[in-house]
């Protein structure tokens, strides 16, 4: 079972214990995929679905869409577009930032969000 599928199954089953609307069949219908496909994804028998479906699953299960996409080995289309839009800067920035600790990255985001530090 893949980490992605295992995470979805675990979260969905917890929700199902309290709310039968989280059955494979009902959740798959809300997400727009076949129940058999969702079941196979959860068991690691099929690869993760499309970005759209993963984002829908994240919303259904109240999970962070970017984290769930990452578990599936994907990135959101807006992040990909940002990298493509500035291919001379973004890849280098990502490579440099990956060496930073989580704490350092959170501090940088806090500075940006509070002071608009990174805006032109």
Which residue is associated with the tokens 């919303």? 59
Range of the domain at 97: 86-115
Could you tell me if 57 and 111 lie in one domain?
Answer: no
Distances (CA, A) of 2 to 8, 45, 49: 10, 8, 13
Q: Is residue 57 part of a domain?
A: yes
Q: Is residue 78 part of a domain?
A: no
Structure tokens at 34: 């076949």
Tell me which of 34-38, 91-95, 113-117 is least confident. Answer: 113-117
Q: Is residue 53 part of a domain?
A: yes
pLDDT digits (tens, 9 = 90+) for 28-75: 999 999 999 999 999 999 999 999 999 999 999 999 999 999 999 999
- Pick 88 or 114 by higher pLDDT: 88
Distances (CA, A) of 92 to 86, 87, 89, 98: 10, 9, 6, 10
- pLDDT given at position 28: 97
Could you tell me if 8 and 63 lie in one domain?
Answer: yes
pLDDT digits (tens, 9 = 90+) for 10-39: 999 999 999 999 999 999 999 999 999 999
- pLDDT given at position 116: 54
Q: Is residue 76 part of a domain?
A: no
Could you tell me if 91 and 64 lie in one domain?
Answer: no
> What is the crossing angle of helices 35-42 and 24-31, to 10°?
110
Could you tell me if 66 and 95 lie in one domain?
Answer: no
Could you tell me if 36 and 60 lie in one domain?
Answer: yes
Could you tell me if 15 and 45 lie in one domain?
Answer: yes
Could you tell me if 55 and 104 lie in one domain?
Answer: no
- pLDDT given at position 1: 46
Q: Is residue 97 part of a domain?
A: yes
Q: Is residue 66 part of a domain?
A: yes
16 with 27: CB under 8 angstroms?
A: no
- pLDDT given at position 23: 97
Instruction: pLDDT band for 111, please (50, 70, 90 cuts).
Output: confident
Could you tell me if 52 and 8 lie in one domain?
Answer: yes
CA distance 31 to 38: 10
- pLDDT given at position 119: 52
Structure tokens at 5: 């599928």
For residue 113, pLDDT over 90 is answered with no
């Amino acid at each position: 079972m893949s980490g992605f599928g295992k995470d979805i199954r675990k979260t969905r089953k917890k929700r199902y214990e309290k709310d039968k609307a989280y059955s494979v069949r009902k959740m798959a219908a809300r997400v727009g995929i076949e129940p058999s496909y969702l079941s196979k994804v959860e068991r690691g028998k099929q690869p993760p679905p499309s970005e759209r479906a993963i984002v829908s699953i994240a919303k259904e299960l109240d999970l962070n869409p970017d984290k769930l996409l990452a578990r599936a080995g994907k990135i959101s289309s807006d992040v990909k577009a940002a990298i493509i839009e500035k291919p001379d800067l973004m890849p280098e920035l990502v490579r440099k930032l990956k060496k930073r600790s989580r704490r350092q990255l959170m501090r940088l985001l806090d500075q940006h969000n509070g002071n608009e530090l990174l805006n032109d």
